[in-house]
Amino acid sequence: MENETLPSERAGNLESYEKACKDFTWASGEEEFEWSSGGPYNIAHEAIDKHASSWRKNKVALYWESASGKMRKFTFGEMRRETNRFANTLVGLGAKRGDRVFVYLDRIPEAYITAFGTMKMGGIFAPIFSALGPDGVRDRMLDAGARFLVTTPQLFERVQPVMESLTELSTVILVSAGTEQAPDKCVWFRELMRASSPDFETERMAPHEPYVIHYTSGTTGKPKGVLHGHKAMVQQLVTSKFVLDLKEGDTYWCTSDPGWVTGTSYGMVGPWLLGSSLLSYEGRFDPRTWYSLLERYEVTVWYTAPTALRMLMKAGDDLVGEFSFPSLRHVCSVGEPLNPEVIRWAMRTMGKRVHDTWWQTETGAMLICNYPCSTIKPGSMGRPIPGIQAGIVDEEGQDLPPGREGFLAVRPGWPSMMVGIWRNAPRYREYFKIPGWYVSGDMAFRDEEGYFWFLGRADDVIKSSGERIGPFEVESALLEHPAVAEAGVIGKPDEIRGEIVKAFVSLRPGYVPSDWLKAEVSQFVKQKLAAYAYPKEIDFVDSLPKTRSGKILRRVLKARELGQEVGDLSTLEK
C-alpha cells in the first residue's frame, strides 16, 4: 500500500509543500485579518462583516436547498444584516458575553444566522446534531449550563420531556412561521428578528475567549465540551487556503452537519473567512440527489466523508455516468481513514483524486493532510500542514523513528488548539500527559518520506458513518430498558459505515432472549440517542467480562467478536 502513489496534479494555493514547511509562520497568516490593523477581534466580523463592507457585499455567501427542493440564497450583505438582528435579539433577551447558546436545528439558513449572531455578541455557539434524542440534548445542555436554545417546534417536542431538569435555561427561541401562543419559556424567532435592528457593533474578543463548544464522546463518562477560542480563525483560514485550495470564484460544499466540528470549522467559518460561496443541503443522503447537487450548483470544491464516498461507490458506476462535473476541481475527505479502494474508484469514475485529512474535535482544524501539489499515497493520512510538528511517540514521549508504531502526537500551541474542556480541567490536562506533546489517542506510524499512516484508536470510541459514538452513552441508554441488566458496546467493522455499534446484553430475570426483544431494545436506544448510535447488532449473553472493580472489558468483547487474541486477562473478574 505504501508503494502505491498518485502523482501531484497541480500547484494550487500551496505551490510547494517543502518550501512552505520551511518558510511559513503563523504570524504571516495573521496579516489577512482586519484585526491585525485595528479591526474587531471576532470570527463573525472576519467571516461576514469584512466581506459585507467590501465589493463582496453582493456576492452569494450561502446557497441553500431544502429536502423538498426549495432554494434560497443569501449575500454577505444580507448575512450581515440577519446576524446583526440575531445578535440584537440575544442582547434584548438578556444574553451576556460568554453565555452558551445551543442551536438544535437541521441544516437550514437559521443555523448559520444564529451561529454567527451568537459569536457577534460574544456568546458561545453550542451546536447540537438534530438527530440527537432528549437524553443526549439534556446531558449537553446541563453540562454547559445552557442559557438559550434555538430549535424548531418539531425538535422542541423531543426536548419538552427534559425541560424541568434544564434549570439554567432562560429562553427557547422557536424557528417557525407560527403565530400561535408560544409554549412556556418559548418565543418566536421571526417576531424577535422583525423587531431587531440590522445594525450591531460586534464585540471585540480576546484570542483565547471561546466562540464555540463542541461536545464529543469518550469511552468513559458523559460527552465532554471542547472549547475553541476566536484565535482558531487563523488556522481555519490557512487550511481552507492550503488544503481545501479555495479560490475567489469557488462554490464549495461541505457535507458535514453544523452539529459537528467539521460542519462548523469548514462548513461555516473557514470558507467564509476567505469570502467563498457555500452550498448547504438540508436533505438526507441520496446518491442521485448528491450527484445532482454537484452538477447543478457547479460545485468546484467538495469536502465529504469516506462513508458517503463508499455509499456512492456502492450505488454503482452507471449512476455516476449519468452526471457531469466539469466544474469540480478538488475533493477532500474527513472523519475516518479513507480506504484506498475509494480513492481508486473516484479516479476511475470522476477523474478526481480524493485528499484525506486528519484532525479532531479537540484540534479545531486540520493538522495532517494531503495537498494538490503533493503525491498521494492511498491509505495515508498525509503530512503535517506547514506550521505543525507531529510525531509518533512512545509512553515516555520519545519521538519514534520511521516505521515504528506509537501514539500520534502533536507539539502544542497551534492556533486552533482547544482552549479547554468545559468545567473539566483534569480531563483537559490528560491530553498533555506526555510532556511537550498533545496526545491524540490514535495509533499510527510514519514512513521515510514523512507520510503518516493510521492504525486505530487507542481507546474504544466507535466511528460509524463518520460520527463519533461513545460506548458509555449507548450502554447507559441500554441499561434504561427494563429488560437489560448489563450491557457492553463495541465497534464492529463494516464495509460501508466503517464500524457499526454492536451490543452485548445480559437480561434481567423474567426476560427471555428473542429476535423481537433485540428489535425492541434497538429501537429504544435509537429514540433516546440518535439514529446512528443505536446497536445494529445485539447478542444476548449470560455475563460480560469485567475487571474486579466492575469495569466492562470492551477489548475482550471485541477480540472475541473478531476472533482475535484477547491479550492480558490478569484483571478479569473470576
- pLDDT for the residue numbered 179: 61
- What domain range includes position 33? 17-443
Q: Choose among 482, 471, 445: nearest CA to 544.
A: 471
Rounded to whole angstroms, the Cα distance separating 507 from 546 reads 16
Whether residue 67 is found in the same domain as residue 140: yes
- pLDDT for the residue numbered 2: 57
Whether residue 328 is found in the same domain as residue 470: no
**Last-in-domain residue among 408, 443, 478:** 443
Whether residue 392 is found in the same domain as residue 507: no
**Last-in-domain residue among 393, 416, 443:** 443
| CATH number of domain containing 26 | 3.40.50.12780
Whether residue 294 is found in the same domain as residue 412: yes
Do residues 481 and 535 make contact, with C-beta atoms less than 8 angstroms apart?
no
What is this structure's pTM?
0.85
Whether residue 506 is found in the same domain as residue 534: yes
Q: In tens digits, what is the pLDDT along the chain, a chain of 574 residues? A: 456 888 887 789 999 999 999 999 999 989 899 999 999 999 999 999 999 999 999 999 999 999 999 999 999 999 999 999 999 999 999 999 999 999 999 999 999 999 999 999 999 999 998 888 898 899 999 999 999 999 999 999 999 999 999 999 999 999 986 667 778 889 999 999 999 999 999 999 999 999 999 998 654 457 899 999 999 999 999 999 999 999 999 999 999 998 889 999 999 999 999 999 999 999 999 999 999 999 999 999 999 998 888 889 888 899 999 999 999 999 999 987 788 888 989 999 999 999 999 999 999 999 999 999 999 999 899 999 999 999 999 989 999 999 998 999 999 999 999 999 999 999 999 999 999 999 999 888 999 999 999 877 776 778 888 777 877 778 878 888 999 888 889 999 998 888 999 999 989 889 999 999 999 999 999 988 888 889 999 999 998 887 543 457 787 898 888 888 766 453 345 5
Q: At residue 180, what is the residue type?
A: E
- Is there a domain that residue 192 lies in? yes
Half-sphere exposure in the Cβ direction for 430 (13 Å, CA): 10
Whether residue 190 is found in the same domain as residue 284: yes
- Is there a domain that residue 39 lies in? yes
> How distant is the alpha carbon of residue 482 from its chain centre?
33
- Is there a domain that residue 284 lies in? yes
DSSP state at residue 86 = H
Whether residue 53 is found in the same domain as residue 148: yes
Strands (E), 230-365: 251-254, 277-281, 301-304, 330-333, 354-358
Whether residue 41 is found in the same domain as residue 172: yes
Do residues 220 and 260 make contact, with C-beta atoms less than 8 angstroms apart?
no
Q: Which helix (DSSP H) or strand (DSSP E) does residue 161 occupy?
A: none
C-alpha distances in angstroms, 376 versus 328, 448, 451, 561?
19, 14, 9, 34
Whether residue 412 is found in the same domain as residue 557: no
**Last-in-domain residue among 414, 443, 472:** 443
What three-state secondary structure class fits 165?
A: helix
Rounded to whole angstroms, the Cα distance separating 126 from 101 reads 6
Give the number of domains in the chain: 2
* Torsion of the alpha carbons at 318, 323, 328 and 331, rounded to the nearest 10: -30
Whether residue 492 is found in the same domain as residue 548: yes
Half-sphere exposure in the Cβ direction for 479 (13 Å, CA): 10
- Is there a domain that residue 570 lies in? no
Q: Residues 6 or more apart from 2 whose CB is under 8 A from it?
A: 377, 379, 380, 447, 451, 453
Q: Choose among 288, 275, 440: nearest CA to 368.
A: 440
| Sign of the CA dihedral with 451 first, then 345, 468, and 211 last | positive
- Is there a domain that residue 251 lies in? yes
- Is there a domain that residue 56 lies in? yes
| CATH number of domain containing 476 | 3.30.300.30
Q: What is the pLDDT of residues 498-536, one digit of tens each?
A: 899 999 998 988 999 999 999 999 999 998 888 888 999
Q: Which helix (DSSP H) or strand (DSSP E) does residue 478 occupy?
A: helix 471-479
Q: Which three cell numbers stand for residue 553?
A: 472489558
- Is there a domain that residue 518 lies in? yes
- Is there a domain that residue 331 lies in? yes
Whether residue 36 is found in the same domain as residue 124: yes
- pLDDT for the residue numbered 219: 42
> How distant is the alpha carbon of residue 51 from its chain centre?
26
Q: Choose among 370, 272, 528: nearest CA to 7.
A: 370
Rounded to whole angstroms, the Cα distance separating 340 from 377 reads 9
* Reduced DSSP (H G I as helix, E B as strand, rest coil) percent helix, strand, coil of the chain, to 5: 35, 25, 45
- pLDDT for the residue numbered 292: 98
Do residues 52 and 79 make contact, with C-beta atoms less than 8 angstroms apart?
yes
Q: What is the pLDDT of residues 195-234, one digit of tens each?
A: 999 999 999 999 999 999 999 865 445 789 999 999 999 9
- pLDDT for the residue numbered 177: 65
- Residue 65 has phi, psi (to 5 degrees) of -130, 130
Whether residue 435 is found in the same domain as residue 484: no
What three-state secondary structure class fits 469?
A: strand
